[in-house]
Amino acid sequence: MNAPTNARTFDATDAVRSTVPLLVGLSGPSNGGKTYSALRLAKGIQEVTGGDIYGIDTEARRMLHYADMFKFKHMPFRAPFGSLDYLAALDHCTKMGAKVILVDSMSHEHEGPGGLLDFHLKELDRLAGDDWAKRERVNMLAWQKPKQARRRLINGILQMEANFIFCFRAKNTAKPVKNDKGKTEVVPQGYMPIAGEEFVFEQTVNALLLPGAKGVPTWASGFVGEKQMIKLPEQFRGIFAESKPLDENIGRALATWARGGDAPAAPAENDLLDEGRREATNGKAALEAWWKKIGKAARVRLAGELDALKTAAQKADESSSGEDVPFDDEAPATAEAS
């Protein structure tokens, strides 16, 4: 068989990591510390990249509460909150020289006036008016233009030479799921970001800030929804190994990695703790078996983390079956330590 005259040619070279943009997502309900944490991260990133920090503020100028603590350019952003409106705002910031762009909140792109859900309703009105039978028939078609606009936003962001921090509002959710017996059960999902999944999944890292977290992210959850939305790639486990508020040091470490540098390696003890957190997401029985397996010395080192692990395991059991499974840790950590 003859090869086509316009056959394409390809080259393959050794993979070398180069500069990439950061897309950092901070998800959570009110009182988790999203805005303050985002500004701290932005300051740390700026110390590596240079340039200005731009804050796109959809929250009634709330970002200005921190104007005495951080130096940044403030840009109020009002409705409409369409995907292409966000794209225009981000494009304006990059043209003005922004190297770090903070958006608080990105959730308006999903459910705010002019956002994706609103766009969909307007398309239904255009295509079917008050004909409710027709509205059902064209419902999927009415998503076409809103989804295309969002895809243009995402593609545009990926082409911009800047680093981004997106704050997403979140709400406690549940959804009906059929069990093994074919019966429908309402399964808690935990705090889910108000955003399109395709947008959240584009984030380089996505942290969950629970109410009262004071900027300390949650990386392990027993809720199915939260587990899907939390994103902590392996190369960042060292950066987030310590349970502490998001700060300038973390921002600097992320920016250093994004410029081609090495991320800090996770200490061995934190690797063990990460393993425990993963086991906790499978429930108390799995956590108990793992706790007994790791040995006395390891249990002593992790004694201070046991309550948090047990809480995560309990949430996992409650979300799957609603049953409370007792946890047998053999002996109090203080007794083992002595």
Nearest to 27 by CA among 171, 129, 182, 174: 171
CA gap 213, 27 in Å, rounded: 12
- Single-letter amino acid code for the residue at 9: T
Phi and psi torsions of 208, nearest 5°: -105, 125
Range of lowest pLDDT (7-11, 30-34, 179-183): 179-183
Residues 6+ apart with CB under 8 A from 272: 294, 298, 301, 302
CA gap 220, 285 in Å, rounded: 17
Indicate the pLDDT class of residue 147, thresholds 50, 70 and 90: very high
pLDDT for position 321: 60
Nearest to 187 by CA among 48, 34, 335, 321: 321
331, with CB counted inside 10 A (0-12, 13-18, 19+), is exposed
Q: Are 170 and 124 in contact (CB under 8 A)?
A: no
pLDDT digits (tens, 9 = 90+) for 88-129: 999 999 999 999 999 999 999 999 999 999 999 999 999 999
Is residue 336 predicted with pLDDT exceeding 70?
no
pLDDT digits (tens, 9 = 90+) for 13-50: 888 777 888 999 999 999 899 999 999 999 999 999 99
At 79 the three-state DSSP class reads: coil
pLDDT digits (tens, 9 = 90+) for 289-317: 888 887 766 787 788 888 889 998 888 88
Percent pLDDT > 90 in the chain is 58
Nearest to 194 by CA among 111, 103, 116: 111
Q: What is the pTM of this model?
A: 0.77
pLDDT for position 140: 96
Is residue 332 predicted with pLDDT exceeding 50?
no
pLDDT digits (tens, 9 = 90+) for 237-272: 888 878 899 999 999 999 999 988 877 766 566 777
Radius of gyration of the chain (CA): 23
pLDDT for position 338: 29
CA gap 156, 87 in Å, rounded: 7
Tokens 């110390």 -> residue: 47
pLDDT for position 4: 61
Is residue 51 predicted with pLDDT exceeding 50?
yes
pLDDT digits (tens, 9 = 90+) for 190-222: 999 999 989 899 999 999 999 999 999 998 888
The first and second tokens of residue 192, run together, are 């889910």
Domain with CATH 3.40.50 in the chain: 23-258
Cis peptide before 221 (omega within 30 of 0): no
Is residue 130 predicted with pLDDT exceeding 50?
yes
The first and second tokens of residue 264, run together, are 């800090």
Architecture of domain 23-258: 3-Layer(aba) Sandwich (3.40)
Geometric angle at alpha carbon 178, from 283 and 181, rounded to 5°: 90
- Single-letter amino acid code for the residue at 226: E
